[in-house]
Structure 1
């Protein structure tokens, strides 16, 4: 995961550098001062990349090196089971419908519909996360 963390670090530095250049250039080249929306968007992009890169760096210190992270790894080192993937689930459809409902509620600014959408989002996210949860084992 160190490679992924480095990629996000590069994106972070790039976004902050472009934000600084953008802020200076819009301040001096436009007649209205610094353009705030693009500047904030670039700063938030850099912050989000910093957040993701920091998480990946944090996790990479606590797990053993994957075959992708080792120089001496063979292709066969990455073989094997990758994890459990649901063979079929209806929760993503409900999640998409709830997100679409939330988008419509925000677009038309209907607070009552937004409350319904947020509740349905929480229910469908919970259903998706706990779909295969069997509870604690009581021996």
Structure 2
């Protein structure tokens, strides 16, 4: 994960510098907000990848002297088919529409979104890894 972590760290640094320069030279709040959000999102991904790198150690992909056979075998777990992505997408769409149409639709959207997100998080608790 080291290569990916460096990539997103560089992206976060770029957006941080661009936000500072743009904020100094411009008074437009929309551009500053968009650059700030871009910085935060790339910094969160970078932090996650650095954490995964520390937790899992070096992968064969991170070393220049690695052999292809070192990466062989089962490495990750992919869950079975699930309807939770559809439920989460429908809940997100209802929340977005609720912001425009009214609080009642937003509350219904959160009611649909919550089981979708919880299903994503806990659907494979019995998987041994």
TM-score (normalised: structure 1): 0.78
Of 73, 93, 97, the match for 1:100: 93
Residue of structure 1 equivalent to 2:19: 19
Residue of structure 2 equivalent to 1:84: 77
Q: How many residues align?
A: 127
Residue of structure 2 equivalent to 1:38: 31
Residue of structure 2 equivalent to 1:51: 44
TM-score (normalised: structure 2): 0.83
Residue of structure 1 equivalent to 2:62: 69
Q: State the alpha-carbon separation in 2 of the partners of residues 14 and 97 from structure 1.
A: 34
* 3-state DSSP of counterpart to 1:97: helix
Higher alpha-carbon Rg: 1
Of 108, 116, 119, the match for 1:127: 119
Most deviating of 70-79 and 40-49: 40-49
- Going from structure 1 to structure 2, the CA distance change for 1:79 and 1:43 (only over 3 Å counts) comes to same
- Going from structure 1 to structure 2, the CA distance change for 1:48 and 1:88 (only over 3 Å counts) comes to closer
Structure 2, gaps ≥5 residues long = none
- Going from structure 1 to structure 2, the CA distance change for 1:84 and 1:117 (only over 3 Å counts) comes to same
Structure 1, gaps ≥5 residues long = 27-33, 135-139
Q: State the alpha-carbon separation in 2 of the partners of residues 16 and 129 from structure 1.
A: 31
Task: Please identify runs of 4+ aligned residues in structure 1 that moved more than 4 A.
Answer: none
Residue of structure 2 equivalent to 1:7: 7
CA RMSD of aligned residues (A): 2.1
